Chain A
Amino acid sequence: MSMLLTTSVGSLPKPDYLATARSRARKGELDPKELRRLEEQATRDWIARQEELGIDIIVDGEQYRGDMVAYFAEQLEGFQTSSLVRSYGNRYYRKPVIAKKIRRKRPMTIGWWKFAQGLTKRPVKGMLTGPYTIMDWSFNEYYPSRRATALALAEVVREEAKGLERAGAQYIQIDEPAISTRLDEIDLAIEALGIVTKGLRAKTITHICYGNFQALAPKLNRLPVDQIDLEFANRKFELLDAFKRLKLRKEIGLGVVDVHSHRIESREEVVANLKKALKVFKPEQIYVDPDCGLKTRTVDEAVGKLRVVVEATRAVREELLN
């Protein structure tokens, strides 16, 4: 019986050489072919590291993506890039603008998924950003309403998800971090995500972060996916309380290490937290991973955090089997 499988939420840090290459490529100082070679190199390294660490469900690490919405916006027809807007503090980004009808001209992630799956026998997750989040994190100049925008995006994300499944993906994750922003729009988010996942045979997952979980918790069973992935570590596992009251009828992706801190958690504390979670969820219901994408950590920190995820999970698995 498979239980307590380990995985990652998606992004992994880019090595320094790749960060430099990306900034040179943006300025036109680096040939796109050379950038692609370096992205492939970094992807190979991350697949090898995840195999060495013993992660069960692998990710490609998104070495070729910048922002999780901009990556899709850049490839879909209908989007334009804007000038800079501020995100917080002294951080700025280019928020995409929907200026015309959205169309998927070509696969956006499938080539990279095939490349990654070709490097390993372990399953590689397909990683997409959900329609509600792409809508919420873009300006809209074309569609008459937020609903029309989200539903149009749902169609193109669905095409991509179908393509990933046809290519052989057994796990498809559709991230919706914005879903917790406006609970009055939860029905729209569910409707849009439902379009993406309808009829997929692959296991579907959604990752949600930030926001008001106490208010969101009662809605989780309505999300049209098999697994919900949440951040537990940076909330000191207080979120478990919500699931004592609510019976989750889905699998749970359990974030057990904080991606916003430099400190590597000890194996003992992760083991202790996993045991707490086992009082609330069944072992076969739990997938163990970091809270969120690890891209903001250094390569060493990310490896350290993934290592403790695997080691702690193994220790708990062995106890359960004996």
Chain B
Amino acid sequence: MITTVVGNFPKVAEAGFGTKVISSISRWQRKELSDAELEGVFQGITKAVIAEHERAGIDVLTDGQIRWEDLVTPLAKKIEGFEINGLERWFDNNVYYRRPILRKAPVRRGPILVDEYRAAKACTSKPVKAVLPGPYTFVKLTEDRYYKNDSRFLRKIAELLNEEAKALEAAGAPIIQFDEPALGFGKPPIKLILEAIAIATRGVKATTALYLYFGHLNGFLEPLQKAPVDILGVDVASDPQAVGAIRKVKWTKQLALGCLDARNTKLESVTELHALFDVVAKRLPLDRVCVNPSCGLEFLPYEQAVQKLRRLVEAVQTYQGR
């Protein structure tokens, strides 16, 4: 079993790389710090975060999304046509983000995340995956005042994400991951979503992953076996029925098992993680399973985020050594 992470990591670490990002962003907002200086701060923290993952023994990394406000803003603010608006709640968390509004036809002028991807990749010899919002989540987190047509908006966003995915692949990303937390809420139109995922992954030769987290699985594991992706990520911490759902489905994909609760500081025991691996092993061979926290670790303070990484690696090593 390979160990990986879902995406973001705490940007501040009082007991680690410090809290410099807070004052740096404030100074940049007051124009006391240049874009290049702020970028230097971000890259320094990215390097520290990657080193933290390496020390913990994680196999496949991300850049920790240190520059990101949230999952959609980094893209929305670079796509023409979007305007960043008022604060909204981030799904069912006591965390907020500024909702982008589409007012004009969206235009992507060039690669958005490629430079930061390359900078992260240069920090490590381990594989670094690239993370993008899934098309449905992108659409649900933004507001469309241009198309005024859900399916057209969804298809257009899927096309823009496909362009970005290809650019990240060209920059060397071995895995392109699409996050779809919005699938856990309400009544998502699964047929339309499958079509949008097909558009977003079209022509991408890198390994592709689709991660679900938060909310409920809504019986989507079955239809998602048909999605044109290689890996399907499932958060078993948020939905108490998720383990049962994993057992019921005939798996055609690799499973990314989100097995440590990344939204609570309580540390899972090695024993309970082993019990979970046992259940999963009855359904699919463990060489088709990778393990990760339930979602990005930025909901946790730095110390607990590091503890979760270490526990993940410890659980896998002791399981395989049995």
Which A residues fall within an 8 A CB radius of B?
Answer: 82-90, 92, 95, 97, 136-137, 139-141, 178, 181-182, 210-211
Contact = CB atoms under 8 A, between A and B. Distances in A.
B319 interface: no
A97 B98 CA distance: 27
A140 B237 CA distance: 14
Given A139-B266, A140-B264, A211-B89, A88 B302 contact: no
Interface of B: 10-15, 19, 21-22, 25-26, 29, 69, 87, 89-90, 92, 94-98, 264-266, 298-304
B250 to A, nearest CB: 29
B33 to A, nearest CB: 13
A210 B89 contact: yes
Nearest to B23: A90
Nearest to B24: A90
Contacts of B19: 84, 92
Contacts of A83: 12-15, 301-303
A296 to B, nearest CB: 12
Contacts of A84: 10, 12, 14, 19, 301-302
Contact of A90 (B22, B266, B299, B300): B22
Nearest to A141: B266
B303 A85 contact: no
B179 to A, nearest CB: 17
A97 B265 contact: yes
Contacts, number: 66
B92 A182 contact: yes
Nearest to B87: A88
Contact of A181 (B89, B97, B265, B304): B89
B22 A92 contact: yes
9 contacts: A84-B10, A84-B12, A85-B299, A95-B301, A137-B94, A139-B266, A140-B264, A140-B266, A181-B89
Contacts of B26: 90
Contact of B95 (A86, A90, A140, A141): A86
B97 A86 contact: no
A88 B95 contact: yes
Name the residue in B21, B26, B94 with the highest tally of chain A Cβ atoms < 10 Å from its Cβ.
Answer: B94
Contacts of A86: 10-12, 95, 298
B295 to A, nearest CB: 14
A92 B10 CA distance: 11
B78 to A, nearest CB: 17
A211 B185 CA distance: 14
A86 B92 CA distance: 15
A132 B303 CA distance: 26
Contacts of B10: 84-86
Contact of A139 (B11, B13, B87, B264): B264
Contacts of B304: 82
Contacts of B11: 86
A83 B21 CA distance: 15
Nearest to B16: A83
A158 to B, nearest CB: 23
A92 B25 CA distance: 13
A132 to B, nearest CB: 12
Contacts of A85: 10, 298-301
Contacts of B69: 88-89
A136 B301 contact: no
A211 B69 CA distance: 20
B237 to A, nearest CB: 13
Given A88-B98, A141-B264, 6 more contacts: A86-B10, A86-B298, A89-B69, A181-B92, A182-B92, A211-B89
A89 B73 CA distance: 10
A110 to B, nearest CB: 27
B258 to A, nearest CB: 18
B45 to A, nearest CB: 13
A87 B303 contact: no
Nearest to B264: A139
A82 to B, nearest CB: 5
